[in-house]
Amino acid sequence: MAERHRSFKAEGIVIKHQDWGEADRIITVFTRELGKVRMVAKGARKIQSRKGGHVEPFTHILAQLDRTSDLPIINQVETVEPFMELRDSLENITVGLYVMELLDRFTRDEEGEDLPLFQLLRETLLRLAASTDKWPVLCYFQLRLLDVLGYRPSLFQCAVCQRKIEPVDQFFSPMQGGVVCPACGEKHPNLWKIQVEPLRFLRHFQRSTFDDAAKAQVHPAVREKIDKLIEDHLSFLLERKLNSPRFLNSIK
């Protein structure tokens, strides 16, 4: 009996690819319709392959796929936007791959349509392609990613007592989900410290449009402090996510 194939369309941005067998590739795409999807590009590694050029990371593609009992197979694929600018320097590639890796690690296969996340990814690539200074783009992306994923850190009220945060040095607790005021911080050991300057810019980025956020003049030393805090916070969330029952169930 002939196997039934169900054909479907998906529009998305290529997160990564890996070689598969002699000539094929598995490409991971963040799609508009289904969230993250792994799909097979048959023959993508053959030199003459017309599909090969479409499966590079960052490429915005429109694919026609066939459902199989295993991963869906790409039947046809066209490029919507190649984002060539993101491939023209090592810095651009590194920054682009960092965005892709974060997205990859915070999502699971076929979680369903997530338009805010898809739009955030697309806007971030457009901004990276158009900006000389990538720092505001990355910082903004990370904060919006936390919003979209439901981990928006509390930066205006103490995450413990809910009192308004005053313009003095504060604490930060990934466990509590944000800034902890000095009074509450005294009672909790091992909290991270956050100074007024980095906090001021974090708050500005969190509540502003990208265009407004990008206008801020942030000193390199302050940028470093912000990066460290965001990276540590993301690492904490990823570890907790990896240890969560929901994640363990999903990989069983």
Binding residue for Zn ion (CB under 5 A) from 63, 121, 158, 237? 158
159 binds Zn ion (CB under 5 A): no
Indicate the residue type of 225: K
160 binds Zn ion (CB under 5 A): yes
| In the complex, least distance from residue 158 CB atom to Zn ion, rounded to whole angstroms | 3
E strands in 150-191: 170-173, 178-180
Q: With respect to Zn ion, which residue has the nearer C-beta, 23 or 161?
A: 161
- Alpha-carbon distance of 34 to 53, in angstroms, equals 23
181 binds Zn ion (CB under 5 A): yes
Query: Given the structure tokens 């457009």, which residue do they identify?
Result: 126
Query: Does residue 65 belong to the site contacting Zn ion (CB under 5 A)?
Result: no
For residue 34, CA distances in Å to 8, 60, 106, 114, 142 come to 11, 15, 15, 7, 22
CB of 161 to Zn ion, least distance (A): 3
Min CB(201)–Zn ion separation in Å: 21
Q: Print the binding letters for residues 67-86 with Zn ion: x by CB under 5 A, - otherwise.
A: --------------------
Strands annotated E in the chain: 6-20, 24-31, 35-41, 60-67, 73-81, 170-173, 178-180, 192-194
CA nearest 209: which of 161, 162, 149, 143? Answer: 143
Return the range that interacts with Zn ion (CB under 5 A); candidates 31-39, 68-76, 184-192, 234-242.
184-192
Shortest reach from residue 163's CB to Zn ion, in Å = 5
Rounded Cα distance between 123 and 99, Å, is 12
**Among the residue ranges 62-70, 73-81, 179-187, 209-217, the one whose residues contact Zn ion (CB under 5 A):** 179-187
184 near Zn ion (CB under 5 A): yes
* Contact flag: residue 168 with Zn ion (CB under 5 A): no
Which residue, among 22, 15, 5, has the nearest Cα to 74 in the 3D structure? 5
161 touches Zn ion by CB under 5 A: yes
Kindly list the residues in this chain that would bind Zn ion in the complex (CB under 5 A): 158, 160-161, 181, 184
